[in-house]
Amino acid sequence: MPAEQSNTVLDSSKHELSACWNLNNLELTPIKLSENHTFVANSDGNKFILRCSPLDHRTKSAIQAELDFILLTSNFNLDLHLCKPILNRSQEYILQLKLYDDKAWYAVLFEYAQGTDPTQQWSGLTDTNVFEAYGRTLAMLHQASMHKSGDVNKWNQIKDNIPILDQLHGGASGIERIQSRAELGHVPSKMLLNLWHLKIAPFVKSCGQSSDSTFGIIHGDLNISNYFTKRADDKTDLWVFDFDQVHQNWFGYDIGVVLHMIQFFEENSSNMKIENFDAKSIRSAFLSGYAKNFTPMVDEGHLEPSMLNGFELLREYSHTAIAVDILFQVSVGKKFEESIVSFCKLCSERFENKYASN
């Protein structure tokens, strides 16, 4: 987030939100203030999630396509639980307003997830039942995408407004942008360009021709912070939210998100003091839950170890590219919070140390 931004929500904006969605005695509690600003919206004891996106971050048509994807997918299977957007009094999902005393934002109100937050004391990282449900849920999302659940024509319409990976985060992971900055002498961009030619491009080529069973609209960021878990009748289910990174990609990229997350905690578990953390067990449970519920990926060979390693690398590469994009902006004078800059430097250095010498 750029430095020196006021984060006090205007009273007039709260009144507008209250009137638009019939939210009495509205209280907003910040959850995360990054590219999007998200809040718990409490109205007379009822909880919702309010997500606000600046107009220069995403277009209204892109947000609407994301919401249509959620609505279409949520009807695919009764066991698939997604936090759906809520219509306002104008029978629309998106409201434009001035959240703070500056630029305009797009606001969307979502259902609040059922269950418990798995990041509380990191309980969700030690339960194989959670990770089996994790794999099963991701498989159902991919099934819905493959089958174009609900309305094929609607799916074809929203596809035009769903980005590809290189278009996310302002095009941070696009190879043309990375190459142009490398040519300017930006060292982290040079590192990314080298890794692209050595590892990423050959892996993407090895994925073969894309098909409905391997490529489609995906969540894009289903990490442990983007779902709640609920256990009932000896069955664990996930309630999924935060589809801001929805895009068109290999289904394996979504798997790579999870594997990269597990690897991160495996490498840092001693520092974070996560008791009973067993990376091998939860990884196995996740992949088992996925494979049982989406066999086309098995048939296509995309769950083979070499492919899984490649998808994990692709996720880590795109994640690092976002950090490198910020570092380049800093190098040409743009201001960011120091904590953000430090984190981006850490991401870039970690990725280089891990892969550049291999």
Reduced to 3 states (helix: H, G, I; strand: E, B; else coil), residue 222 is: coil
HEC string for 169-186: HHHCCCHHHHHHHHHCCC
DSSP state string for 123-171: GGGS-HHHHHHHHHHHHHHHHHHHHT-S-HHHHHHHHTTSPBGGGGGGG
Return the minimum-mean-pLDDT range out of 12-16, 63-67, 184-188, 264-268: 264-268
pLDDT interval class at 357 (50, 70, 90): low
pLDDT in tens, 276-322: 899 999 999 999 999 999 999 999 999 999 999 999 999 999 999 99
Residue 39 has pLDDT above 60, yes or no: yes
Left, alpha or beta for 211 (phi > 0: left; psi -120 to 50: alpha)? beta
224: nearest Cα among 73, 340, 74, 117: 117
Q: What's the pLDDT at 125?
A: 93
Q: What's the pLDDT at 1?
A: 46
pLDDT in tens, 157-194: 999 999 999 999 889 999 999 999 999 999 999 999 99
Residue 46 has pLDDT above 50, yes or no: yes
Mean pLDDT highest for which of 126-140, 273-287, 344-358? Answer: 126-140
The mean pLDDT value for 54-58 works out to 89
SS3 percent helix, strand, coil of the chain, rounded to 5, is 50, 15, 30
Reduced to 3 states (helix: H, G, I; strand: E, B; else coil), residue 236 is: strand
The pair of three-digit structure tokens given for residue 194, joined into one six-digit string: 């080298």
Reduced to 3 states (helix: H, G, I; strand: E, B; else coil), residue 323 is: helix
Q: What's the pLDDT at 269?
A: 57
What domains does the chain contain, in order, with CATH numbers? 11-111 (3.30.200.20), 120-356 (3.90.1200)
Residue 270 has pLDDT above 60, yes or no: no
User: β-pairing, 81-82 with 235-240?
Assistant: parallel
Residue 57 has pLDDT above 50, yes or no: yes
Predicted TM-score (pTM) of the model is 0.93
The mean pLDDT value for 206-216 works out to 96
The mean pLDDT value for 316-333 works out to 96
Residue 3 has pLDDT above 60, yes or no: no
Q: Using CB atoms within 10 A of its CB, is residue 97 exposed (0-12), middle (13-18) or buried (19+)? A: middle
Residue 7 has pLDDT above 80, yes or no: no
How far apart CA 236 and CA 134 sit, in angstroms, is 9
How far apart CA 238 and CA 229 sit, in angstroms, is 5
CA dihedral angle for residue 9, residue 15, residue 21, residue 27, rounded to 10 degrees: 50
